[in-house]
């Protein structure tokens, strides 16, 4: 990672620079055009970052005036652990910055925030086809072999 990249908490003034990253993340997962998230979901997601009652958190990677990446993470309870667990929900770097260590730095920052919160576990999901991200994930975490099932209700 380049020395001039800083990982920090998101700030209210970041919205206009965060939104293109958020949109890029959602487009990557097929949530664009007719399948785009409704604007009220984006608005609520943004509000949650700044609501102390919400367990949703956000960090950004910044160089100069440019945001290069984002990570959103959530603390929650578990039935098998006493300490809170940290779910890394969203991780995205601008395409031009991939392969430069920014994703790894964002993950490492979440690990640090999890330790500060007393959590002993961070976990996340990715699509099997996301080979670029999986190369990084295989270096920074273990893959426990679980299979995801879900059903919209």
Domain assignments of the chain as residue spans, ordered by start = 6-140
pLDDT in tens, 23-52: 999 999 999 888 889 999 999 999 999 999
Report the pLDDT averaged over residues 139-147.
93
Is the pLDDT score of 69 beyond 50? Answer: yes
CA distance 96 to 99: 9
Per-residue pLDDT band at 3 (split at 50, 70, 90): low
Question: Comparing 34 with 133, which gets the higher pLDDT?
Answer: 133
Q: Which CATH number fits domain 6-140: 3.40.630.30, 3.40.50.880, 3.40.190.10, 1.20.1560.10?
A: 3.40.630.30
76-79: long-range pairs with CB below 8 Å, 24+: 78/121
Token representation of residue 117: 């919160």
Please state, in angstroms and as integers, the Cα–Cα distance from residue 62 to each residue in 3, 92, 111, following that order.
11, 13, 18
- For 3-145, list the strands marked E by DSSP: 6-9, 56-63, 66-76, 85-93, 122-123
62: β partners:
6, 67
Of the candidates 108, 142, 74, the residue with the CA atom closest to the CA atom of residue 1: 108
Per-residue pLDDT band at 12 (split at 50, 70, 90): very high
CA angle centred on 105, ends 103 and 111, rounded to 5°: 105
pLDDT at 94: 94
For the beta sheet containing 85-93, the strands, ordered from the edge strand earlier in sequence to the opposite edge, are 6-9, 56-63, 66-76, 85-93, 122-123
> What value does the mean pLDDT of the chain take?
94
Report the pLDDT averaged over residues 114-130.
95
% pLDDT > 90, the chain = 88
Buried-exposed string 28-64: b where 16+ CB fall within 10 A, e elsewhere:
eeeeeeeeeeeeeebeebbebbeeeeeebbbbbbbbe
Q: What is the pTM of this model?
A: 0.93
CB-CB contact of 85 with 78 (8 Å): yes
């Amino acid at each position: 990672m380049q020395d001039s990249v800083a990982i920090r908490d998101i700030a209210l003034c970041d919205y206009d620079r965060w939104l293109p990253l958020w949109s890029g993340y959602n487009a990557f997962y097929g949530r664009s055009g007719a399948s785009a998230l409704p604007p009220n979901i984006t608005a609520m997601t943004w509000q949650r970052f700044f609501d102390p009652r919400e367990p949703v958190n956000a960090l950004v990677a910044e160089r100069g005036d440019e945001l290069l990446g984002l990570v959103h993470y959530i603390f929650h309870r578990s039935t098998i652990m006493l300490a809170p667990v940290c779910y890394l929900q969203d991780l995205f770097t601008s395409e031009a910055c991939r392969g430069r260590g920014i994703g790894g730095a964002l993950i490492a920052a979440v690990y640090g925030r999890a330790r500060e919160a007393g959590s002993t576990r961070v976990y996340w999901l990715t699509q099997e086809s996301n080979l670029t991200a999986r190369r990084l994930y295989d270096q920074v975490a273990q893959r426990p072999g679980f299979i995801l099932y879900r059903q919209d209700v």
